[in-house]
Amino acid sequence: MEPRERIVDAAARLLESEGEEALSTRAVSAAAGVQAPTIYRLFGDKQGLLDAVVTRGFSDYLAEKSVRPPSDDPVADLHAGWDLHVGLALERPALYRLMYARPRAAGSSPAARAAFAELAALIHRIAVAGRLRVPEERAIGMVHAAGSGVALSLVAVPPEERDDGLSRAACEAVVAAITTEEAFPTTGPVASAVALRAAVDDLDALTPTERALLGEWLDRVARGA
Protein backbone atom coordinates (compact mmCIF):
# COMPACT_ATOMS: atom_id res chain seq x y z
CA MET A 1 0.00 0.00 0.00
CA GLU A 2 0.95 3.62 -0.41
CA PRO A 3 2.26 5.39 2.72
CA ARG A 4 -1.00 7.33 3.16
CA GLU A 5 -3.08 4.14 3.17
CA ARG A 6 -0.66 2.40 5.55
CA ILE A 7 -0.83 5.32 7.96
CA VAL A 8 -4.65 5.46 7.95
CA ASP A 9 -4.85 1.68 8.40
CA ALA A 10 -2.39 1.79 11.29
CA ALA A 11 -4.29 4.64 12.95
CA ALA A 12 -7.59 2.77 12.57
CA ARG A 13 -6.11 -0.38 14.14
CA LEU A 14 -4.66 1.58 17.07
CA LEU A 15 -7.97 3.34 17.53
CA GLU A 16 -9.85 0.04 17.76
CA SER A 17 -7.35 -1.70 20.03
CA GLU A 18 -6.22 1.09 22.35
CA GLY A 19 -8.58 4.06 21.89
CA GLU A 20 -8.10 7.60 20.67
CA GLU A 21 -5.51 8.34 23.36
CA ALA A 22 -3.11 5.94 21.58
CA LEU A 23 -3.16 7.95 18.35
CA SER A 24 0.08 9.84 18.85
CA THR A 25 2.13 10.58 15.77
CA ARG A 26 4.96 8.51 17.20
CA ALA A 27 2.78 5.44 17.76
CA VAL A 28 1.06 5.73 14.39
CA SER A 29 4.30 6.22 12.47
CA ALA A 30 5.85 3.19 14.20
CA ALA A 31 2.81 1.02 13.47
CA ALA A 32 2.76 2.14 9.82
CA GLY A 33 6.51 1.75 9.33
CA VAL A 34 7.10 5.37 8.33
CA GLN A 35 8.90 8.36 9.80
CA ALA A 36 6.86 10.84 11.84
CA PRO A 37 7.51 13.72 9.39
CA THR A 38 5.68 11.66 6.74
CA ILE A 39 2.44 12.05 8.72
CA TYR A 40 2.82 15.82 8.82
CA ARG A 41 3.68 15.93 5.13
CA LEU A 42 0.61 13.87 4.12
CA PHE A 43 -1.95 15.05 6.68
CA GLY A 44 -0.71 18.41 7.90
CA ASP A 45 -1.24 17.66 11.60
CA LYS A 46 -2.86 15.15 13.92
CA GLN A 47 -6.32 16.59 13.25
CA GLY A 48 -5.80 15.95 9.55
CA LEU A 49 -4.99 12.31 10.36
CA LEU A 50 -8.10 12.03 12.53
CA ASP A 51 -10.18 13.47 9.68
CA ALA A 52 -8.76 10.80 7.36
CA VAL A 53 -9.65 8.04 9.83
CA VAL A 54 -13.19 9.44 10.09
CA THR A 55 -13.51 9.54 6.32
CA ARG A 56 -12.38 5.91 6.12
CA GLY A 57 -14.88 4.93 8.82
CA PHE A 58 -17.78 6.61 7.04
CA SER A 59 -16.76 5.09 3.72
CA ASP A 60 -16.77 1.60 5.23
CA TYR A 61 -20.14 2.31 6.82
CA LEU A 62 -21.64 3.49 3.53
CA ALA A 63 -20.19 0.48 1.70
CA GLU A 64 -21.92 -1.84 4.17
CA LYS A 65 -25.21 -0.01 3.75
CA SER A 66 -24.98 -0.12 -0.05
CA VAL A 67 -25.08 -3.93 -0.12
CA ARG A 68 -28.63 -3.77 1.24
CA PRO A 69 -30.93 -2.76 -1.61
CA PRO A 70 -33.96 -0.64 -0.64
CA SER A 71 -37.22 -2.48 -0.11
CA ASP A 72 -40.71 -1.47 -1.17
CA ASP A 73 -41.36 -0.12 2.35
CA PRO A 74 -39.27 2.99 3.10
CA VAL A 75 -40.40 3.01 6.74
CA ALA A 76 -39.05 -0.53 7.18
CA ASP A 77 -35.83 0.65 5.55
CA LEU A 78 -35.66 3.45 8.13
CA HIS A 79 -35.85 0.87 10.93
CA ALA A 80 -33.11 -1.18 9.27
CA GLY A 81 -30.92 1.88 8.77
CA TRP A 82 -31.31 2.84 12.42
CA ASP A 83 -30.27 -0.66 13.54
CA LEU A 84 -27.24 -0.57 11.25
CA HIS A 85 -26.23 2.84 12.58
CA VAL A 86 -26.45 1.82 16.23
CA GLY A 87 -24.79 -1.49 15.40
CA LEU A 88 -21.79 0.39 14.04
CA ALA A 89 -21.47 2.24 17.34
CA LEU A 90 -21.63 -0.95 19.39
CA GLU A 91 -19.17 -2.83 17.18
CA ARG A 92 -16.63 -0.01 16.81
CA PRO A 93 -17.24 2.43 19.69
CA ALA A 94 -13.90 4.24 19.48
CA LEU A 95 -14.39 4.96 15.78
CA TYR A 96 -18.00 5.98 16.35
CA ARG A 97 -17.02 8.50 19.03
CA LEU A 98 -14.42 9.92 16.67
CA MET A 99 -17.01 10.11 13.91
CA TYR A 100 -19.90 11.63 15.86
CA ALA A 101 -18.47 13.26 18.98
CA ARG A 102 -16.20 15.51 16.92
CA PRO A 103 -18.42 17.87 14.89
CA ARG A 104 -15.49 19.30 12.96
CA ALA A 105 -14.29 15.93 11.74
CA ALA A 106 -17.75 14.57 10.95
CA GLY A 107 -18.97 17.72 9.26
CA SER A 108 -15.90 18.09 7.07
CA SER A 109 -15.90 14.49 5.84
CA PRO A 110 -17.29 13.93 2.32
CA ALA A 111 -18.41 10.48 3.43
CA ALA A 112 -20.24 12.01 6.40
CA ARG A 113 -22.09 14.34 4.07
CA ALA A 114 -22.92 11.36 1.86
CA ALA A 115 -24.34 9.48 4.85
CA PHE A 116 -26.51 12.47 5.75
CA ALA A 117 -27.64 12.74 2.13
CA GLU A 118 -28.60 9.08 2.19
CA LEU A 119 -30.78 9.69 5.25
CA ALA A 120 -32.37 12.65 3.50
CA ALA A 121 -33.11 10.49 0.45
CA LEU A 122 -34.77 7.86 2.63
CA ILE A 123 -36.93 10.46 4.38
CA HIS A 124 -37.86 11.81 0.94
CA ARG A 125 -39.02 8.33 -0.11
CA ILE A 126 -41.28 8.20 2.96
CA ALA A 127 -42.68 11.62 2.05
CA VAL A 128 -43.37 10.59 -1.54
CA ALA A 129 -45.17 7.51 -0.22
CA GLY A 130 -47.51 9.83 1.71
CA ARG A 131 -46.43 8.53 5.10
CA LEU A 132 -44.55 11.51 6.55
CA ARG A 133 -46.47 13.61 9.10
CA VAL A 134 -43.84 16.37 9.53
CA PRO A 135 -41.74 18.38 7.05
CA GLU A 136 -38.79 16.50 5.60
CA GLU A 137 -36.17 18.77 7.19
CA ARG A 138 -37.62 18.22 10.65
CA ALA A 139 -37.84 14.46 10.14
CA ILE A 140 -34.21 14.31 9.04
CA GLY A 141 -33.11 16.31 12.06
CA MET A 142 -35.13 14.18 14.48
CA VAL A 143 -33.80 10.89 13.15
CA HIS A 144 -30.21 12.11 12.99
CA ALA A 145 -30.24 13.62 16.49
CA ALA A 146 -32.04 10.72 18.12
CA GLY A 147 -30.00 8.01 16.38
CA SER A 148 -26.62 9.50 17.19
CA GLY A 149 -27.76 10.41 20.72
CA VAL A 150 -28.89 6.87 21.48
CA ALA A 151 -25.72 5.39 20.02
CA LEU A 152 -23.43 7.69 22.02
CA SER A 153 -25.44 6.99 25.18
CA LEU A 154 -25.07 3.25 24.71
CA VAL A 155 -21.32 3.28 24.10
CA ALA A 156 -20.82 5.53 27.15
CA VAL A 157 -21.69 2.68 29.55
CA PRO A 158 -20.18 -0.80 29.92
CA PRO A 159 -21.88 -3.50 27.82
CA GLU A 160 -23.22 -5.30 30.89
CA GLU A 161 -24.99 -2.14 32.07
CA ARG A 162 -26.66 -1.21 28.78
CA ASP A 163 -30.41 -1.15 28.34
CA ASP A 164 -30.86 -3.60 25.48
CA GLY A 165 -34.30 -2.21 24.68
CA LEU A 166 -33.31 1.46 24.55
CA SER A 167 -32.44 1.61 20.87
CA ARG A 168 -35.59 -0.18 19.74
CA ALA A 169 -37.84 1.94 21.98
CA ALA A 170 -36.24 5.18 20.79
CA CYS A 171 -36.48 4.14 17.15
CA GLU A 172 -40.15 3.25 17.45
CA ALA A 173 -40.89 6.53 19.23
CA VAL A 174 -39.18 8.63 16.55
CA VAL A 175 -40.72 6.68 13.67
CA ALA A 176 -44.18 7.01 15.25
CA ALA A 177 -43.64 10.75 15.65
CA ILE A 178 -42.69 11.38 12.01
CA THR A 179 -44.64 8.77 10.04
CA THR A 180 -48.19 7.53 9.60
CA GLU A 181 -49.48 3.97 9.49
CA GLU A 182 -50.92 4.43 6.02
CA ALA A 183 -50.65 6.93 3.19
CA PHE A 184 -52.77 10.08 3.30
CA PRO A 185 -54.59 9.41 6.60
CA THR A 186 -57.99 10.92 7.18
CA THR A 187 -56.92 12.59 10.42
CA GLY A 188 -55.57 15.69 8.69
CA PRO A 189 -53.91 17.22 5.65
CA VAL A 190 -50.33 17.20 6.86
CA ALA A 191 -49.13 13.94 5.31
CA SER A 192 -50.88 14.84 2.07
CA ALA A 193 -49.20 18.26 2.02
CA VAL A 194 -45.78 16.77 2.79
CA ALA A 195 -46.20 14.08 0.13
CA LEU A 196 -47.29 16.54 -2.53
CA ARG A 197 -44.44 18.86 -1.54
CA ALA A 198 -41.99 16.03 -2.15
CA ALA A 199 -43.31 15.66 -5.70
CA VAL A 200 -43.67 19.35 -6.61
CA ASP A 201 -40.55 19.40 -8.78
CA ASP A 202 -42.02 16.63 -10.94
CA LEU A 203 -45.26 18.49 -11.71
CA ASP A 204 -44.52 19.34 -15.33
CA ALA A 205 -48.04 20.71 -15.86
CA LEU A 206 -47.05 23.74 -13.76
CA THR A 207 -44.58 26.46 -14.61
CA PRO A 208 -41.48 26.91 -12.44
CA THR A 209 -43.10 29.93 -10.81
CA GLU A 210 -46.30 27.98 -10.08
CA ARG A 211 -44.30 25.08 -8.65
CA ALA A 212 -42.39 27.46 -6.37
CA LEU A 213 -45.61 29.05 -5.17
CA LEU A 214 -47.28 25.70 -4.57
CA GLY A 215 -44.22 24.52 -2.66
CA GLU A 216 -44.38 27.61 -0.45
CA TRP A 217 -48.07 26.98 0.32
CA LEU A 218 -47.45 23.31 1.12
CA ASP A 219 -44.50 24.17 3.37
CA ARG A 220 -46.78 26.58 5.25
CA VAL A 221 -49.42 23.88 5.73
CA ALA A 222 -46.86 21.38 7.03
CA ARG A 223 -45.11 23.82 9.36
CA GLY A 224 -48.33 25.27 10.67
CA ALA A 225 -49.64 21.85 11.60
176 pLDDT band, cuts 50/70/90, is very high
Contact in structure between 132 and 178 (CB atoms under 8 Å): yes
Q: What does the pLDDT read at residue 107?
A: 54
Contact in structure between 54 and 109 (CB atoms under 8 Å): yes
The Cα angle at residue 212 between residues 207 and 213, in degrees rounded to 5 = 100
Task: Report H helices in 19-109.
Answer: 25-32, 36-43, 46-66, 74-91, 93-100, 103-108
Contact in structure between 62 and 56 (CB atoms under 8 Å): no
162 pLDDT band, cuts 50/70/90, is very high
Q: What does the pLDDT read at residue 172?
A: 96
- Rg of the chain (C-alpha set): 21
One-letter amino acid at 155 equals: V
Task: Write down the mean pLDDT value for the chain.
Answer: 85
Q: What does the pLDDT read at residue 18?
A: 87
What's the pLDDT tens digit per position in 17-35?
888 888 888 899 999 999 9
Q: Which of 21-30, 75-84, 183-192 has the highest mean pLDDT?
A: 75-84
What percent of the chain shows pLDDT beyond 70?
89
Torsions phi, psi for 135 (to 5 deg): -55, 150
pLDDT at 200 over 90: no
Q: What does the pLDDT read at residue 20?
A: 83
Q: What does the pLDDT read at residue 60?
A: 80
pLDDT at 182 over 80: no
166 pLDDT band, cuts 50/70/90, is very high
pLDDT (mean) for 76-87: 93
Q: What does the pLDDT read at residue 109?
A: 61
pLDDT (mean) for 178-199: 72
Q: What does the pLDDT read at residue 78?
A: 95
Torsion of CA 13, 146, 139, 76, to 10 degrees: 70
What's the pLDDT tens digit per position in 103-146?
554 555 666 677 788 899 999 999 888 898 888 999 999 999 99
SS3 61: helix
pLDDT at 191 over 90: no
What percent of the chain shows pLDDT beyond 90?
40
